[in-house]
Amino acid sequence: MPQNLVLSFEEKTSMKLAELFASYGYKKYKMSKFEEYDLYIENKSFLKSENVIAFNDPTGKLLALKPDVTLSIAKNTADNETEPRKLFYSENVYRVSGNMHEFKEIPQLGLEYIGEVDTYSLCEVLIVAKQSLAIISDSYVLDISHMGLLIGLLEYAGLSYEVRDEITTLIGTKNSHEIRRVLSSRGVDTDLTEKIVTLSTLYGSIDKIIPLAEKLIVNETTRAAVEELKTVCNILKISGQADNINIDFSVVSDISYYNGITFRGYIEKVPGSILSGGRYDNLLKKLGKNSGAVGFAVYMDLLSYLDRDNGRYDADVLLIYNENTSAEKVFEAAAELREKGERVFASTTECKNIKYKRLVKIGEGI
């Protein structure tokens, strides 16, 4: 019997993603729903929203419902990890989101690679991210960026932290007119300003963008960033994985946690990014761990945009019988239909609150 009768699109996708992660050697990591509140206070800018549901445990200690999984995994890493750890998780996180700014339970599936991040491991994570998107829909894009370019250009411009944050946000919204306004008010020269503006507008395939990105090199940080991006993109191309991948430097994340490659995945018809990840050595450093890390998460709640038709029918067949039909006959008829993989609802009346594809009547006098 086909087993996909009851599983929702989200559940099916989540199974396929877990299988994909496992096939690359990632091990499932089950976590507690709660975490010490302090962790989020110390790292609040890592979180997308600062609101956390906090409560006291029986001993009076302040706990929080997890707003994020990566922080907990990073926290539980040994200070001097010698061997790489590959973990995946499927957890609910609790965040404020949406137009009404209310707490929501958001199912998240993701993976983390913790250890020395070499070129292979980095490309592997990118390819798994790409394959995850392909599992969800045929119409997807994975956008890759390198934080080093932004960090290097802002360093070179010698801007204060406040202005750096402002520019980072503006790059995230491809807002070139405001970038020009802010930078000119800070006395940044036109050449450098235009480089930062270009960073926000560049978008396209690897072949189109890499040569243009080379023109943005101003110092060692930016040079190293472009070199790493080139290496990674080359490997993706050679392994035949460059399709549906674009380079987009407006994919920005918090500079104090993320360094190196960052990426986001988009699916047609789903507003906002459904997948988000990157290299976060800086977070581990902040937590006192001597290790590198890269990972991503898939926001499963957004799948609802693709799943409009699911659940439209409660049953495939509404099987109507009456008092002239023996119970065995009804069992037999229903079993026959189920054998063909159909969902059968047997009833003596044509129920109005059941949505069904077709009606089958058995017995005399119906």
Binding-site ranges for other proteins (CB under 8 A):
99, 139, 141, 143, 173-178, 203-204, 246, 250, 266-273
Separation of alpha carbons 72 and 66, rounded Å = 9
Residue type (1 letter), 143: D
* CA atoms of 309 and 154, how far apart (whole Å): 47
Could you tell me the smallest distance in angstroms from the CB atom of residue 292 to other proteins? 29
Least separation in angstroms between CB 30 and other proteins: 31
How far is residue 298's CA from residue 302's CA, in Å, rounded to a whole number? 9
Nearer to other proteins, 197 or 334 (CB): 197
Nearer to other proteins, 22 or 242 (CB): 242
Looking at the Cβ atoms of 293 and 302, the one nearer to other proteins is 302
What letters, b where the CB count within 10 A reaches 16 and e where it falls short, cover 320-355? bbeeebeeeebeebbeebeeeebbbbbeeeeeeeee
For the bound state, the minimum distance from the C-beta of residue 244 to other proteins, rounded and expressed in Å, comes to 10
Q: Are 295 and 110 in contact (CB under 8 A)?
A: yes
Least CB distance to other proteins at residue 161 (A): 16
* 85 vs 95, beta carbon nearer other proteins: 95
CB-wise, 79 or 207, nearer to other proteins? 207
Question: DSSP H helical segments within the chain, as ranges?
Answer: 9-23, 37-42, 70-75, 119-136, 147-157, 161-172, 176-185, 190-201, 206-214, 220-238, 281-286, 327-339
Q: With the C-alpha atoms ordered 224, 229, 232, 234, is the resulting torsion angle positive or negative? A: negative
Whose tokens are 């059941």? That residue is 354
In the complex with other proteins, which residue's Cβ is closer, 155 or 194? Answer: 194
State in angstroms the smallest separation of the CB of 174 from other proteins. Answer: 4
**Shortest Å distance, C-beta 115 to other proteins:** 32
